[in-house]
């Protein structure tokens, strides 16, 4: 039987008219008491119904024993009672026509099989009534634009709730409230904040999709432990990108120990961090490694939108601070703006020419005085077209409050984003207060500000939409193949069908066939043994190179067959290929996000160098080229020290074709490596020298 359609959309759930609180009390030590009091006292404009069979009223509000006994239909019911009573109240709410239940109670999937079974029973019960669930094991919802501060944390009473543009979705309830409170202290203003808990029904992507359409939300922040539906998350993130809303994300469980903690906390399955980074990059999500820094950056984006350039103007009262800031710019990959001749001419009226540059050092002013610095020439410098934002670094000095005010007001008047860093301690409290009154962004360390700038500048466009080449074959490329490792020549045959160049070679079953093949291919040749368990052929002595004549080939044949005869299925005679660089080109089928393409340099040293880029399949060749430029060894491909540039176009095309092979193979292809692929000079192509692949399950099954 098909369950009825949901009674309300997420957008409606986030703007309720009537709330019921199951477990409401006056006791602020209890979750039910706190969330009821917080919502009531912090200005919810709709009707609130406390549910408590032992009381007639709570805070002068009439109580009902059960939600079904309320005299109106309830939009959202909050359930904060012991676990053994939750299911009964879910049933009662469903029959009463409640649109959504927010389950604060914990002790379900995160505790084991019994809890998981009870959680599933609650979901099935809710769905039979078209009722949605949030949680369990969550702390509630906030929608500042609707006056909804429905969260059980005591910090809600200590926080201001001025409406803003930051949407926040968190898998951790306590962390959500903590970061919300800290963010407000740092100047962040939220549109909404949602604790999703175990995601038994409504999950992260439901709220991400809503935020993509929510007019009040300008930037979206996430704290993620695991994904319930990875493909849906990617689609929702792309929807946010299309809506022009950057998505910032902190993901826990990146380490093995971190993954163990998140699993015990919300029963989340943590995947590979490197894969997730690549998937996020293409979907337009910016991974951030600090959750408070994420909120600081989000407020920067909420106020100023995405950057139109990447040049930063720095002005400081200390040459030492300016020098350290310059070093940190270099360390973090940020760029100081370059002044145009016109800007330099204007600044030379107030700065010593030999000391003029970016950062601007107030000690280099012609007046040589800190008594009357005024704006320090900041407006003149900020008008330069290369300046995208201003960074003011305040150090100790005379009239610090006046200096901070003059510089901050000047920065604000430029119309460009301005960040103020206060490096002293209590001596700059007056300046901090002035900047707060000006409603400007300020920080305690330069690194905090630089982290915000770096996140603000992070690209969120993703790559071009991949287009399938017209000459690719149709169907599953491994149809009919057996599970397990394939032989080298089997893999190369598939690669060749997909337009990826491979070495000329021939399978041989005896030495005479090998000599005839070598005469046809051309000496010197390589001899390689193959078998389903000969995975690392070089390590096991199953490869002989640069065999110049029949005598050398026969000797290699005899040696190899004598040592490995029980494991050999045959041998390959192949051309001796060469190139300007050895490249690894591979595929890995991630359990959450599907096939990923890997490209890097190193050949046999690839794992040691660990200089690779990773992209989800399928991929556009131009995107491959963009990502290759981030490799540490990119200069090798570009041509270094007089060496010719290599054929990056062919490499990018081969990677794109391999990505479509992965799409066509589906779940059957577990992994595939081309290592090495010899890359030749620009215009001369490439050739795959060795390849291996492993199939999982039935390769011939329908996709």
| Residues of the chain above pLDDT 70, percent | 95
Spatial CB neighbours of 394, under 8 Å, sequence gap ≥ 6: 316, 317, 400, 403, 404, 407, 420, 421, 422, 423, 424, 428, 431
Other C-beta atoms lying within 10 Å of the C-beta of residue 355: 13
Residue 376 Ramachandran class (φ > 0 left, ψ -120 to 50 alpha, else beta): left
Residue with the two structure tokens 């041509």: 639
CATH superfamily of 504-575: ATP-grasp fold, A domain (3.30.1490.20)
DSSP three-state, residue 248: strand
309-457: CATH topology: Rossmann fold (3.40.50)
Average pLDDT over residues 385-407: 92
State the pLDDT confidence band at 1, using cuts at 50, 70 and 90.
Answer: low
Q: What is the pLDDT of residue 266?
A: 27
- Average pLDDT, whole number, for the chain? 91
Q: What is the pLDDT of residue 607?
A: 74
pLDDT at 551 > cutoff 60: yes
Q: What is the pLDDT of residue 267?
A: 28
- Class level of CATH domain 159-306: alpha beta
Angle at 295 between CA 291 and CA 297, to 5 degrees: 110
Q: What is the pLDDT of residue 370?
A: 59
3-state SS string for 206-229: HHHHHHHHCCCCCEEEEEECCCCC
Average pLDDT over residues 592-601: 92
pLDDT at 291 > cutoff 90: yes
CATH superfamily of 1-138: NAD(P)-binding Rossmann-like Domain (3.40.50.720)
Spatial CB neighbours of 250, under 8 Å, sequence gap ≥ 6: 222, 223, 224, 287, 288, 289, 290, 291, 294
Nearest to 75 by CA among 16, 149, 129: 16
Q: What is the pLDDT of residue 468?
A: 95
- Class level of CATH domain 581-695: alpha beta
pLDDT at 255 > cutoff 60: no
Spatial separation of the C-alpha atoms in residues 487 and 571, rounded to whole Å: 10
State the pLDDT confidence band at 176, using cuts at 50, 70 and 90.
Answer: very high
Six-digit token string for 691: 């390849």
pLDDT at 625 > cutoff 80: yes
Spatial separation of the C-alpha atoms in residues 693 and 162, rounded to whole Å: 56
Least confident of 27-31, 208-212, 227-231, 399-403: 399-403
The answer to whether residues 541 and 564 touch, using CB atoms and an 8 Å cutoff, is yes
Q: Say how far residue 360 (Cα) sits from the centre of its chain.
A: 35
**Cα→Cα distances 579→17, 499, 558, 572, 677, Å:** 70, 19, 29, 21, 9
State the pLDDT confidence band at 50, using cuts at 50, 70 and 90.
Answer: very high
Six-digit token string for 238: 């792309």
**Cα→Cα distances 289→180, 472, 668, Å:** 17, 40, 34
Buried residues in 104-131 as b, exposed as e (16+ CB within 10 A): bbbbbbbbeeebbebbeebeebbbebbb
* pTM attached to this predicted model: 0.90
Whether 159-306 and 309-457 share one fold: the answer is: yes
Six-digit token string for 257: 């120990």
Average pLDDT over residues 530-538: 80
- Sequence ranges of the domains in the chain: 1-138, 159-306, 309-457, 504-575, 581-695
57-109 pLDDT, tens per residue? 999 999 999 999 999 999 999 999 999 999 999 999 999 999 999 999 999 99
State the pLDDT confidence band at 428, using cuts at 50, 70 and 90.
Answer: confident
CA end-to-end distance (rounded Å), the chain: 27
Spatial separation of the C-alpha atoms in residues 298 and 184, rounded to whole Å: 12
Spatial separation of the C-alpha atoms in residues 40 and 67, rounded to whole Å: 17
Least confident of 224-238, 368-382, 461-475: 368-382
Average pLDDT over residues 474-490: 91
């Amino acid at each position: 039987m098909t369950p009825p359609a949901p009674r309300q959309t997420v957008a409606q759930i986030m703007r309720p008219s009537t709330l019921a609180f199951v477990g409401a009390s006056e006791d602020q030590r209890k979750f039910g008491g706190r969330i009821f009091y917080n919502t009531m006292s912090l200005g919810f404009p709709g009707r609130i119904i406390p549910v408590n069979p032992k009381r007639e009223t709570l805070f002068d509000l009439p109580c009902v024993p059960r939600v079904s006994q309320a005299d109106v239909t309830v939009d959202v019911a909050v359930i904060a009672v012991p676990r053994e009573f939750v299911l009964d109240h879910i049933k009662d709410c469903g029959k009463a026509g409640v649109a959504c239940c927010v389950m604060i109670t914990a002790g379900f999937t995160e505790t084991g099989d019994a809890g998981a079974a009870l959680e599933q029973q609650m979901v099935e019960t809710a769905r039979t009534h078209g009722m949605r669930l949030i949680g369990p094991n969550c702390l509630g919802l906030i929608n500042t634009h609707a006056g909804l501060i429905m969260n059980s944390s005591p910090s809600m009473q200590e926080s201001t709730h001025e409406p803003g543009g930051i949407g926040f979705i968190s898998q951790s309830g306590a962390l959500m409230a903590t970061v919300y409170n800290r963010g407000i202290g740092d100047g962040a203003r939220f549109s909404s904040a949602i604790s999703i808990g175990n995601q038994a029904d409504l999950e992260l992507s439901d709220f991400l999709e809503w935020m993509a359409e929510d007019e009040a939300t300008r930037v979206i922040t996430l704290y993620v432990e695991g994904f319930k539906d990875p493909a849906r998350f990617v689609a929702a993130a792309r929807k946010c990108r299309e809506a022009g809303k950057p998505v910032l994300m902190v993901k826990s469980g990146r380490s093995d120990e971190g993954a163990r903690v998140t699993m015990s906390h919300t029963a989340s399955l943590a995947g590979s961090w490197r894969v997730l980074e690549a998937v996020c990059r293409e979907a337009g999500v910016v991974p951030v490694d600090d959750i408070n820094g994420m909120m600081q950056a989000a407020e920067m984006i909420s106020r100023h939108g995405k950057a139109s350039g990447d040049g930063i103007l720095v002005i400081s009262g200390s040459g030492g601070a300016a020098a350290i800031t310059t070093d940190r710019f270099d360390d973090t990959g940020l760029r100081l703006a370059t002044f145009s001749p016109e800007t330099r001419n204007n600044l030379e009226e107030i700065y010593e020419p030999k000391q003029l540059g970016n950062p601007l050092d107030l000690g280099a002013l012609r007046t040589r005085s800190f008594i009357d610095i005024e704006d320090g020439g900041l407006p003149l410098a900020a008008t330069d077209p290369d300046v995208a934002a201003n960074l003011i670094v305040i150090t100790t000095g005379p009239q610090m409050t006046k200096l901070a005010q003059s510089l901050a007001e000047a920065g604000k008047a430029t119309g460009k984003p301005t960040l103020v860093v206060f490096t002293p301690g209590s001596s700059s409290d007056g300046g901090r207060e002035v900047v707060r009154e000006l409603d400007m962004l300020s920080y305690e360390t330069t690194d905090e500000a630089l982290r915000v700038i770096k996140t603000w500048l992070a690209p969120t466009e993703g790559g071009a939409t991949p287009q399938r080449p017209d000459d690719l074959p149709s169907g599953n490329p491994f149809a009919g193949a057996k599970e397990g490792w394939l032989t080298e020549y089997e893999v190369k045959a598939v690669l060749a069908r997909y337009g990826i160049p491979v070495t000329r070679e021939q399978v041989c079953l005896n030495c005479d066939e090998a000599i005839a093949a070598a005469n046809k291919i051309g000496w010197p040749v390589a001899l390689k043994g193959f078998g389903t368990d000969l995975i690392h052929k070089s390590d096991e002595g199953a490869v002989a190179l640069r065999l110049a004549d029949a005598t050398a080939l026969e000797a290699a044949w005899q040696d190899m067959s004598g040592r490995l005869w029980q494991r050999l299925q045959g041998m390959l005679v192949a051309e001796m290929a060469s190139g300007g660089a050895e490249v690894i080109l591979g595929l890995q089928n991630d359990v959450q996000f599907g096939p990923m393409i890997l490209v890097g340099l190193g050949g046999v040293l690839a794992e040691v160098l660990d200089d690779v880029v990773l992209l989800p399949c399928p991929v556009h060749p131009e995107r491959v080229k963009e990502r290759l430029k981030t490799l540490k060894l990119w200069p090798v491909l570009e041509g270094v020290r007089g060496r010719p540039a290599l054929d990056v176009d062919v490499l990018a095309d081969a990677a794109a074709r391999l990505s479509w092979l992965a799409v066509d193979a589906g779940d059957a292809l577990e992994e595939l490596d081309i290592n090495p692929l010899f890359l030749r000079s620009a215009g001369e192509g490439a050739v795959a020298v060795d390849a291996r692949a492993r199939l999982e399950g039935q390769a011939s099954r329908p996709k």
